Amino acid sequence: LCKSSLLWRHFSKERRTRHSIVELYLFGILVHVFMLLCMLLLPSPSRETFYAVAALPVMLIYPAATTVVGWAMTAESARRRGEIAERVLAATSERLATIVKNSPIAIVSLDLEYRVRSWNEAAEEIFGWKSSEVIGKPLPYIPENMREEHARMNEETLRGLSIYGKRFVSIRKDGSEVVVKVFIAPIRNDKGDLEGILGILEDVTAQHKAEAALKESELRFRRLYMNMNAGIAIYKVTNSGEDVVFLDMNPAGCKITGVTKEEILGRSVRGVFPKVVELGLYDTMIEVWKTGRSKHHPVMNYRDGKLDLRVENFVYRNRPDEIVAVFEDVTKRELTLQELERRVWYRTKELEEVNKELEAFTYSMAHDLKAPLRAINGFSKIISDRYSELIPEEGTRYLGFILKAGEDMSELITGLLEYSKVGRSPLNLEIHSLKEIVDECVSTLSTRIEEEYASVQTASEMPNVYVDRTLMKRAVINLLQNSLTYHKPEERAEVKIYSERRGEWVHLIVEDNGIGISQKFHKRIFNIFQRLHSSEDFPGSGIGLAIVKKSITLMGGDVSVQSVLGEGAKFIVKIKEARL
C-alpha cells in the first residue's frame, strides 16, 4: 500500500490537497490489483483458494471503500488546513493591525472616493485630528494651495503608480504647518482590482528646518567666501602627499595672485607658484595635512618674476585630503606700518626731548626758588624772635601766617624736586631682595616711627624682584610715610608690609589702619598735587603717591589701592618677580 501511494504521488501531475472521486477510485483499484499480484507469492493450494474466494470482492468492494475513506480523509485534511489558515490569517491581521496602530509613522488609507478608511495613532499625533473625526471624510490636512497637486497624485495612484519621498506642507488641526514626506501606493484586492489608496507619512518638519538652515548657512558662507577681502585657496593633496593641486580660489585670491580660476584648477601649486617650496609654505601645507593642526605661516616676500608681494598665510585641514590657505597681501599694510613706526619714533624722540626740558625746568625752578624762600623764612623767623614785643598782636598773627606758608612752600619745593628726580637717572633693573629693601626703608623711618609710637610689621620672607633699587626704595618710603601720616588721631598707626605671588608678578602690600579713602578718589590720589585734606588736618605736599606711581610705572609695574573711608587702606604694588 505504501509503495502504491508513493508511485501514485510520483506519477501524479501536481500535488493537491483534495482529489476527485474518480482519482480516488482509480487509486483504490491500483492498490488492490497490486495486492492480488502479491498473492501470487502464496503456495498453489492457498493461492487458488484466495483467488476463488476473495478476488471478486476485492476488485468490486475494496476500491469503493478506499474511495469513501480517501474522500473523508481529504475532506478532513482540507477542513483542518482551512482552520489553520484562518488562525494564521487572524494572527497575521492582528499583528499587522498592532504594527499599524503603534507605528511612529502616520499610516492612512482612503477608499476610491478619497474618503478616510483608516487613521492610526501616529496620524493623530502628527496632525491633531482623532480617527473618529476623520473616518469617512476627505483628508483634513491638505492646504488650499496644495489640493490640485494632491488630487493629481491620487489620480496617478489610481492608475497604478506609486509615489515615494515627495515632501509637501500640510496643516495641523491647530492651524500650524507640518512638513511630511509621503509614500503613496494603490491598494488591490485578491483579484487585483483597485479598492483604495495607502498613504505613509513621516513628519520631517525638524529635518526640513535643519536642511533649510544648512542651505542658508552654506549660502551665507558662500557669499562670505566670494566677497571677503582675504584670499582663500582650496587644495587637494594627491599621491599620498606627493603633490598639492588647486581645487578652488575665491575672487580676492585671484586678484591678489593675478591668476584666474580657469588657469589653476587641477594644477600643482608648485607649478603655479614655484617659490612656495623655497619659502617654506609648501612644507607648511604638508605638515598641516599630516597632523591636522592649523598653522600660521608668517609674512613672506614672494617674488618669482611675475609676482612681487608680501603675503601672510593661515593653513588648516578641511577634509582628510583637503587643505585650505587663507592669505592676505600685506604689502600696503607693511609699508603703512613702517611709516607709522617711523613717525612714532620721531614723535617719541620729540616728546622725550620736551619731557627732559620740562624736567630740567622744573628742577631748576624748584632749586632756584629755594634760595629766596630760605631768605624769606629766615628773616621772618628773625623778626618773630627779636621784634615780637614791638609788633602788635595782629601783626604777630600775620607773621605766623608767613612762617607757615614758607614752611609749606619749602615742603612743596622739596617734593617737587624729588618728583623731578624720578626717572632722570638711567633705569637700572636688577635682581634684588624685596625683604632687604623693605627693611632698609623701615630703618630709614625708624626715628619717626618711634616718636609717633607707631607699629610697623614686615613679613619674615619675601621673594626676589626685578627692580631699580633706588626707585623701589623711594616708592616704599613714600607709601610708609603716607600710612604714618594719615592715621586716626585717637589711634596709633599700625602698618603691615607683606607680599603675595601672582603668577610672574609679586604684589607688595602696605596695609594700614588709617582714615581710609573714599572709592571715588582711588585713582585721583596718584596724580601730582592731589590732596584730600587740608594741611592743618594732615601735613603733606600731595606729591608722595605721585612719586610712587611714577617710580613703579618706570619699572614696568603698577600700583593701586583698596580702601573704604574710615576703615584703613591697602596699597598694592605690582612688580616683576625675579626667578633664578
Q: For position 503, which CATH number holds? A: 3.30.565.10
Residue 238 lies in a domain: yes
Separation between Cα atoms, residue 43 and residue 500, nearest integer Å: 130
Residue 220 lies in a domain: no
Q: What is the per-residue pLDDT for 114?
A: 86
Residue 215 lies in a domain: no
Out of 357, 391, 418, a domain closes at: 418
Other CB atoms closer than 10 Å to residue 508's CB: what's the count? 28
Residue 346 lies in a domain: yes
State the amino acid at position 39 in one-letter form.
M
Separation between Cα atoms, residue 136 and residue 330, nearest integer Å: 74
Please tell me whether residues 564 and 435 are part of one structural domain: yes
Separation between Cα atoms, residue 502 and residue 193, nearest integer Å: 88
DSSP 445-473: THHHHHHTT-EEEE-S---EEEEEHHHHH
Please tell me whether residues 153 and 189 are part of one structural domain: yes
Q: What is the per-residue pLDDT for 60?
A: 62
Please tell me whether residues 72 and 117 are part of one structural domain: no
Please tell me whether residues 22 and 91 are part of one structural domain: yes
- Grid coordinates representing 312 are 601672510
Number of domains in the chain: 5
Task: Determine contact, residues 550/421, Cβ cutoff 8 Å.
Answer: no
Task: Determine contact, residues 471/547, Cβ cutoff 8 Å.
Answer: no
Residue 216 lies in a domain: no
Task: Determine contact, residues 118/109, Cβ cutoff 8 Å.
Answer: yes
Please tell me whether residues 314 and 350 are part of one structural domain: no
- Residue-wise over 357-388: b if at least 16 C-beta within 10 A, else e? eebeeebeebeebeeebeebbeebeebeeeee
Please tell me whether residues 145 and 187 are part of one structural domain: yes
Please tell me whether residues 458 and 528 are part of one structural domain: yes
Please tell me whether residues 454 and 511 are part of one structural domain: yes
Please tell me whether residues 246 and 380 are part of one structural domain: no
Task: Determine contact, residues 100/107, Cβ cutoff 8 Å.
Answer: yes
Q: What is the per-residue pLDDT for 62?
A: 62
For the CA atoms of 296, 297, 299, 301, the dihedral, rounded to the nearest 10 degrees, stands at -160
pLDDT tens, per residue, the chain with 580 residues: 444 444 455 545 444 555 666 666 676 677 767 666 776 676 777 666 766 666 666 666 666 666 666 666 776 676 777 677 667 666 665 666 666 666 778 888 888 888 998 888 888 888 999 989 989 998 888 888 888 888 888 888 878 788 888 888 888 999 899 999 988 888 888 788 888 888 888 898 888 898 888 899 888 888 988 988 899 999 999 988 889 999 999 999 999 998 999 999 999 999 999 889 989 999 999 999 999 999 999 888 888 777 888 888 999 998 899 999 999 888 887 778 888 888 888 888 877 776 666 666 666 665 566 667 677 777 778 877 787 777 788 887 777 777 776 666 666 666 666 666 666 667 788 999 999 999 999 998 899 899 889 999 999 999 999 998 988 988 998 899 888 888 888 888 899 999 999 989 999 999 999 888 888 878 878 876 555 544 444 455 567 788 888 889 988 999 998 988 888 899 999 999 987 6
Q: What is the per-residue pLDDT for 189?
A: 81
Alpha carbons within 13 angstroms on the beta-carbon side of residue 264 total 25
Please tell me whether residues 325 and 340 are part of one structural domain: no
Residue 526 lies in a domain: yes
Q: What is the per-residue pLDDT for 412?
A: 64
Out of 311, 329, 347, a domain closes at: 329
Q: What is the per-residue pLDDT for 103?
A: 76
Separation between Cα atoms, residue 127 and residue 139, nearest integer Å: 11
Domain span including residue 317: 228-329
Q: What is the per-residue pLDDT for 3?
A: 45
Q: What is the per-residue pLDDT for 1?
A: 46
Residue 486 lies in a domain: yes
Please tell me whether residues 504 and 433 are part of one structural domain: yes
Q: What is the per-residue pLDDT for 482?
A: 85
Q: Helix/strand/coil (H, E, C) string of 331-395? A: HHHHHHHHHHHHHHHHHHHHHHHHHHHHHHHHHHHHHHHHHHHHHHHHHHHHHHHHCCCCCCHHH
Interacting residues of 104 by C-beta distance below 8 A, sequence separation 6+: 122
- Grid coordinates representing 426 are 638711567
**Which residue from 558, 452, 566, 441 is spatially nearest to 502, judged by alpha carbons?**
558
3-state SS class at 316: strand
DSSP 63-124: HHHHHHHHHHHHHHHHHHHHHHHHHHHHHHHHHHHHHHHH-SSEEEEE-TTSBEEEE-HHHH
Separation between Cα atoms, residue 404 and residue 1, nearest integer Å: 151
CATH number at residue 135: 3.30.450.20
Out of 418, 448, 468, a domain closes at: 418
Please tell me whether residues 304 and 257 are part of one structural domain: yes
Residue 431 lies in a domain: yes
State the amino acid at position 33 in one-letter form.
V
